[in-house]
Amino acid sequence: MNILVLVAGVLDPKWPVAPMGDGLPERVADRLILSPFDEAALEIALRIRDAQSDTVIHAIVAGGTEAIRLARAVTAFNIADVTTLDLPAPWDQGATARALAPACGDADLILMGREFGDCDDGLVPPMLAGLLCRAFFGRVQVVEAGAGVRLMREAETCEEWLSVARPVVASVTNDRRIRLRKPLMKNVMMARQALIGTVTHCPAPTDGLDLAGVSARAGSRAQMDCMMFDGSPEQQASGLAALLVEAAR
């Protein structure tokens, strides 16, 4: 099986981030790490290779020179073909999908995180699948690899299992069952010397979207005035229940 892993990388959440002028926070090389979703996608590819020795894994890491360190970290999982791809407008999920599409080649299985980097909230993977005219299977949690490959996700009250029988784009979410392994030290050492290529691409046609502004938020969530339910316990419970039932409908 020919697998392509698309790795986005994110700014390490342990460090503060701030807009750079009117633009997005700078992607600094030594603060760029694999996201939990990147790690899960990578681990699924590795498990398929463990089970099927003829599997070949390629990886593309989003970014320019700042992403080379991250690309070496991916190479350390004994992945020989790792390249970088600079994204022209990371804030534009459509532009990101359009930039990735020409670089995907003929992989049987394209694996990527459920959210592709800091600026995606889940639309890049299905859009990429649409651009490539491939099937899409989102939020994968588990892989079962033997003679064949099956991907599983939990949906509502059931498990959905997809047998990978033809080219598929699968987005992967983090799950305790697919924690990324540690690379072998000898491979880490070899990765330091590895040649990291760069994918060049033609500018994708624009879709009329502009970045009108970037601002910092105080934390991972915006602070707000909390509406407190006072009164008797019954009244408090009734107020909370109203919100819960409204959201469930």
Partner 1 sequence: MSHWQVLGVRSGGPCATPLPDFDRPTLLVFPATAEGEALGGATAAANGAAVLGRITSLTREGQVLVASRATHGGRVAVRLRVARGLAVATVNDMPDLDGEIALGAPADPAPERIARADRRVALESARIVLGGGRGLDEAAFAQLERIADALGGAVGASLPAVDLGLAPVSQQVGQSGKFVTPALYFAVGMSGTPQHLAGIGSATRLVALNTDPGASIFRVAEAGAVADARTLLPLVLQAVEARLGNSLQTPAGPVRK
Q: Indicate which single residue of 24, 33, 51, 103 sits in contact with partner 1 (rule: CB under 8 A).
A: 24
Q: Which CB atom, from 3 or from 194, has the smaller least distance to partner 1? A: 3
Residues 112-131 that bind partner 1 (CB under 8 A): 114, 118-131
- Residues 76-105 touching partner 1, rule: CB under 8 A, are 91-94, 97
CA distances from 191 to 44, 162, 186, 187 (A): 20, 33, 9, 6
Q: Does 9 bind partner 1 (CB under 8 A)?
A: no
State in angstroms the smallest separation of the CB of 58 from partner 1.
Answer: 22
How far apart are the C-alpha atoms of 24 and 234, rounded to whole Å? 47
Tokens 């700014």 sit on residue = 11
CB 75, min distance to partner 1, A: 26
Strand, helix or coil at 233?
Answer: helix
* Subset of residues 192 to 231 that bind partner 1, contact rule: CB under 8 A: 205, 207-217, 219-231
**Residue 178, number of CB atoms within 10 A of its CB:** 21
Cα Rg for the chain, rounded, in angstroms? 20
Q: Which of residues 165-194 bind partner 1 (CB under 8 A)?
A: 165-166, 168, 173-176
What's the CA gap between 138 and 53, in Å, rounded?
26
Cβ-contact 119, 109 below 8 angstroms = no
31 binds partner 1 (CB under 8 A): no
Nearer to partner 1, 84 or 93 (CB): 93
Q: Is 48 in the site for partner 1 (CB under 8 A)?
A: no
How many Cβ atoms are within 10 Å of 181's Cβ, its own excluded? 13
Choose the stretch contacting partner 1; rule: CB under 8 A; options: 63-71, 102-110, 134-142, 191-199.
134-142
36/75 with CB nearer partner 1: 36
d(CA 174, CA 168): 19
| Comparison of 200 and 238: residue with beta carbon closer to partner 1 | 238
**Among candidate residues 103, 104, 108, 62, the one with its CA nearest the CA of residue 85:** 62
H/E element, 42: helix 36-51
The answer to whether the beta carbons of residues 108 and 154 sit under 8 Å apart is no
**Contact, 58 vs 3, CB < 8 A?**
yes
Candidate list 158, 185, 195, 202; residue touching partner 1; CB under 8 A: 158
Instruction: Read off φ and ψ for residue 89, nearest 5 degrees.
Output: -145, 80
Q: 190 in helix, strand or coil?
A: helix
For partner 1, the binding residue among 160, 187, 198, 201 (CB under 8 A) is: 160
Q: Which stretch binds partner 1 (CB under 8 A): 42-50, 65-73, 193-201, 236-244?
A: 236-244
Q: At its nearest, how many Å lie between partner 1 and the CB of residue 236?
A: 4
Judged by CB under 8 A, how many residues of this single chain contact partner 1?
A: 96
Q: How far is the CB of 53 from partner 1 (least distance, A)?
A: 26
